[in-house]
Structure 1
Amino acid sequence: MTVDAAPTAVVLGGGTNGLSVVRSLAQAGIRPIVVVDTPYDIASMSRYARRAVVSGFEGRGFVSELLRLRAGMPHGGVLFFADDRPLLAVSQYRDSVAPWFSFELPSHELLVDLTLKDRFFRLARQGGFPVPATHLVKSRSELNVLQGLRLPLCVKPNSRSPAYDGSFKKAYRVETLAEARLLCERVLDAVGEVIVQEWIEGTNDSIFFCLCYLGPGASVCFTGRKGRSFPPQTGWTASCWAAPEVAGELEDLTIRFFRSVGLTNGFASMEYKRDGRDGSFRFVEPTVGRTDLQVELSALCGINLCHVGYCDAAGQARPKLSLDPTHVWRDEFRDFLAARMLGTKCAYPPKHRIHNAYWRWDDPGPAMLEVAQTAGNALHRVATRVLKTTESSSSRSRLAD
């Protein structure tokens, strides 16, 4: 229920992550909710949210804009991070933000360590936790380390950046050393560093995740698995559901790792892959300080982590939680494409209720914007191909003349 004079829930960042936070909070009756992002984002199109537009998420400029927004929140604000950029900006300037907003973050140094993949893998190895052999490569002269890794390999960025995202996929599976070297050289030329690690064998549905909210009270966790990713194996979550059969093992492993590095408060999650060779779970990567897009699944299944985080920050009693694992969250567009790529149907566990990431009868705005943007992008690609074909034909015609 909505609490009188309650602080505003402020979601920093939009997209599917932000929308999952908005709908999780709305399910708990939290009002008001403000999404801080660029214009016409799917999260801010939700009927449950108000939109606040900022010029960017970098540095002191963003922090100044955020503090100006605080003037319209008479009862304060609780920050939820759905994007790494505002997360790192607020963390860096937390002394300026903390008097005006409530949020839970580890130290900035630890946050950066867990955001960068090479530092995370080093911490995990030092603690004896299950991670694949991994190397950070910063120059072409270091590519000889590839020869010491077992094929196939996984190639991915050390951290997200516009330079990487604009030219490359989230991650790659490569089968040969020659292919790996060529790909690494391209990434090095673009961003100056690249992560290379041994591929964890397993089927597309062997990826699991453990979402946690760590706080002064007992830690609250939710464990699920991906049905499909898009693109398969290396991409974003296309569909997922609860995995209570492995919750005990993964929740223990997740909390032990985070406590071992000194993380005791706020949102934290770990992605795992079950190794098809021996059935063991191995760390893929953590998310710290912000939510993952699967967080709405936790709310649908009765473990509303966003509500727990809000209550802790607002000084309210935590909600009563009861797991109902009979729900599926799916990105309806990408799940269909992933199934087509895999040559399968969009199958889900029996007797589960399916919730679409975008389309909801009671909240249609995000789906309408997603369809419009997808259609616009497709039209742009077609127009670009037509123009290129026309220009090529004109050039050949002039040469013939």
Structure 2
Amino acid sequence: MPEQTIYAQQHPAVSDCMPAPIVVGGGINGLSAVRSLAQAGLSPLVVVTSLFDVAAVSRYARPVTAGTFDGETLLNEMIRLRSRLPQGGALIFAEDDPLLALSPLRDRLAPYFDFKMPSHQLLLDLTVKERFFQLAQQNGFPVPRTLLLRKYSDLAGMNDLRLPLCVKPNSHTKTYHDLFKKAYRLDKRSVARQLCERILDTVGEVIVQEWIEGPNDSIYFSLCYMDEPASVAFTGRKGRSWPPQIGITASCWPAQDIAQELEDLTIHFFQSVGLTNGYASMEYKRDQRDGRFLMVEPTAGRTDGQVEISALCGINLCHIAYCDAAGLPRPPLELDPHHVWRDEFRDFLAARKLRTRLSYPPGYQIHNAFWRWNDPAPALLQSALNSKMALGRVFDMVFAEHRGNHPLEPETFNQSHTRRP
């Protein structure tokens, strides 16, 4: 179905005497939050490290350039921003870097801005995979069997895990991502051991867990805005990810049939670990062997890249968060489940990789993550960035071949699942 303009001209609750909505962080996460707020009639400021950011160039955003997302520097820049906002501002975090930079400085930030976020220790616990799986297992939540390796002697524990195996980093570091794939699916213990040894030599730790069997569209997510006494949630299903089964959402739509089950499970998990306010989400995969939903990865304190699907379907989590932070009544909620959100660039690549058609639920309205007729700049910028990246990969391959280097290839270590938008 053709796209329609769904943005309000001005929400009745928004006026010059209200705090400014401020999205902290850019990329697809920031753009998704900006457009969610625009749907509610809000024109948010977006704090980014570069004006050449897809969120910053949206017609609905007012860009604010921060020199860096380093803690003290970012805090000082945010305080200077506050001096230009007579009515203050309500913060919505869209990326981990600024969130984790400002979280330990929250007491110094709080006099200047309205925001809600979990405790700093809880943010750290839910960012590190091994700690998350410990918390889930301790509280009886369904997760795949997981092993943290920190030394060669730990490799013996892999014999107790069922094949195939998933190998991925325990935490996100530049060293890991410069040298390895986001995750790997491995059918042989000997190959898994070889890969783990290499990662241990380079990074010092690695996660190994049992692979969850199932196709790419067996991945689901519950996006939540946690609050006492009334949390709000939206549940969706991924059509495709890029890279398949490993990366961020390429396309998604509502999953009403299992929404209640996953939302109850998600809210219960976060409440059990003490996260009772702010953004939180959980990704699941349905194991085709027994039909169980297993938790794959949480997000805490910030929005996900596909958060706009909630707004498109009438459950605008970004608007709810803004209203709560600004002390405004929450907007009315009415689910309209007939919408698809897709990252048009990655969805095309995923379908091509999977050798499938770009198929979606019939009769649903499709909304592109980047291209909109009434907001074209993000797509134009993303196209330029994609072209630059593709040329860079070609150069790296030619340079590596010239030097005789042979990086790890998917044929040697098959990719597995996990993502971090």
| Aligned residues of 1:8 and 1:34 also touching (Cα < 8 A) | no
Q: Give the unaligned 5+ runs of structure 2.
A: 1-10, 405-421
| Aligned residues of 2:43 and 2:62 also touching (Cα < 8 A) | no
Q: Which residue of 2 aligns with 1:117?
A: 129
Given the superposition, is the C-alpha separation of residues 32 and 341 from structure 1 closer, same or farther in structure 2, using an over 3 Å criterion? closer
Q: Which residue of 1 aligns with 2:325?
A: 313
3-state SS in 1 of match to 2:389: helix
Q: Which residue of 2 aligns with 1:362?
A: 374
Please identify, of 322-331 and 45-54, the stretch whose mean Cα deviation from structure 2 is larger. 45-54
Q: CA RMSD in A?
A: 1.7
3-state SS in 2 of match to 1:31: coil
What letter corresponds to residue 137 of structure 2 in structure 1?
R
Among 260, 263, 269, the alignment partner of 1:251 is 263
Q: Deviations over 1:300-336 (max 9, x none)?
A: 0000000000000000010000111100011111111
Given the superposition, is the C-alpha separation of residues 231 and 77 from structure 1 closer, same or farther in structure 2, using an over 3 Å criterion? same
| Aligned residues of 1:78 and 1:102 also touching (Cα < 8 A) | yes
Q: Which residue of 2 aligns with 1:398?
A: none
Q: Deviations over 1:117-161 (max 9, x none)?
A: 111111110111101100111122311111111011111111212
Q: Which residue of 1 aligns with 2:243?
A: 231
Given the superposition, is the C-alpha separation of residues 385 and 143 from structure 1 closer, same or farther in structure 2, using an over 3 Å criterion? closer
Given the superposition, is the C-alpha separation of residues 173 and 216 from structure 1 closer, same or farther in structure 2, using an over 3 Å criterion? same
Q: Deviations over 1:15-67 (max 9, x none)?
A: 11111001001111113422333230111111111222222212222222222
Q: Which residue of 2 aligns with 1:348?
A: 360
Deviation at 1:165, TM superposition (A): 2.3
Q: Deviations over 1:177-233 (max 9, x none)?
A: 122112222322332211111001111100000000012341100000100111111
Deviation at 1:116, TM superposition (A): 1.0
| Aligned residues of 1:214 and 1:220 also touching (Cα < 8 A) | yes
Distance 1:32 1:276 in 2: 42
Given the superposition, is the C-alpha separation of residues 257 and 271 from structure 1 closer, same or farther in structure 2, using an over 3 Å criterion? same
Percent identity over paired residues: 62
Q: Which residue of 1 aligns with 2:419?
A: none
Are positions 1:271 and 2:303 aligned together?
A: no
What letter corresponds to residue 221 of structure 2 in structure 1?
F
| Aligned residues of 2:219 and 2:286 also touching (Cα < 8 A) | yes
Please identify, of 1-10 and 360-369, the stretch whose mean Cα deviation from structure 2 is larger. 1-10
Deviation at 1:8, TM superposition (A): 1.6
Deviation at 1:387, TM superposition (A): 6.8
Are positions 1:47 and 2:59 aligned together?
A: yes
Normalised by the length of structure 1, the TM-score is 0.94
Are positions 1:174 and 2:186 aligned together?
A: yes
Given the superposition, is the C-alpha separation of residues 150 and 219 from structure 1 closer, same or farther in structure 2, using an over 3 Å criterion? same
Deviation at 1:373, TM superposition (A): 1.2
Normalised by the length of structure 2, the TM-score is 0.90
Distance 1:245 1:384 in 2: 45
Deviation at 1:385, TM superposition (A): 5.6
3-state SS in 1 of match to 2:325: helix
Q: Give the unaligned 5+ runs of structure 1.
A: 393-401
Pairing 1:108-257 to 2, within 5 Å after superposition: 108-257=120-269
What letter corresponds to residue 323 of structure 1 in structure 2?
L
Please identify, of 150-159 and 55-64, the stretch whose mean Cα deviation from structure 2 is larger. 55-64
Q: Deviations over 1:78-133 (max 9, x none)?
A: 11111111111111111111111111111111121111111111111011110110
Q: Which residue of 1 aligns with 2:116?
A: 104
What letter corresponds to residue 353 of structure 2 in structure 1?
M
Among 339, 364, 387, the alignment partner of 1:327 is 339
